[in-house]
Amino acid sequence: MAVLVSSETKVICQGLTGATATFHCEKAIAYGTRMVGGVVPGKGGQRHLGLPLFDSVAEARAATGADATAVFVPPWNAASAILEAIEAEMPLAVCVTERMPVLDVVRVRLALEGSKTRLLGPNSQGIITPGACKIGVMPAHHHAPGKIGVVSRSATLTYEAVDQLTAWGLGQSTSIGIGGDPVHGMGFIDCIELFLEDPDTQGILVIGEIGGSEEEEAAEFLRSNKLRKPVAAFVAGRHAPPERRMGHAGAIDLYGDGGAEAKIEALRSAAVKVAPNVARIGATMKQAMAA
| CA–centroid distance for 153 within its chain | 8
Q: What is the pTM of this model?
A: 0.94
| Catalytic (active site) residue 184 | no
One fold for 10-120 and 141-290: yes
Q: What is the CA radius of gyration of the chain?
A: 18
> What homologous superfamily is domain 141-290 in, according to CATH?
Succinyl-CoA synthetase domains (3.40.50.261)
Calpha distance 291→284 (Å, rounded): 11
**Are the C-beta atoms of residues 75 and 51 closer than 8 Å to each other?**
no
The DSSP 8-state label assigned to residue 199 in this structure reads T
Give me the average pLDDT of each 10-residue run along the chain (291 residues). Answer: 93 98 98 98 98 98 98 98 98 96 97 98 97 97 97 95 98 96 95 97 96 93 92 85 58 58 94 97 98 83
The one catalytic residue among 24, 143, 184, 248: 248
Return the closest-CA partner of residue 5 out of 196, 178, 184, 176: 176
For the chain, report the end-to-end CA distance as a whole number of angstroms: 24
| CATH 3.40.50.720 for the 10-120 domain, yes or no | yes
Omega within 30 of 0 (cis) for the link into 130: no
Contact 8, 110 (CB under 8 A): no
Quick check: helix, strand or coil at residue 9? coil
pLDDT at position 255, please?
47
Residue spans per domain, the chain? 10-120, 141-290
Please give the angle made by the CA atoms of 144, 150 and 152, to the nearest 5 degrees: 125
Q: Which of 210, 195, 230, 219 is nearest to 267 (CA)?
A: 219
Backbone dihedral angles phi then psi of residue 144, each to the nearest 5 degrees = -145, 140
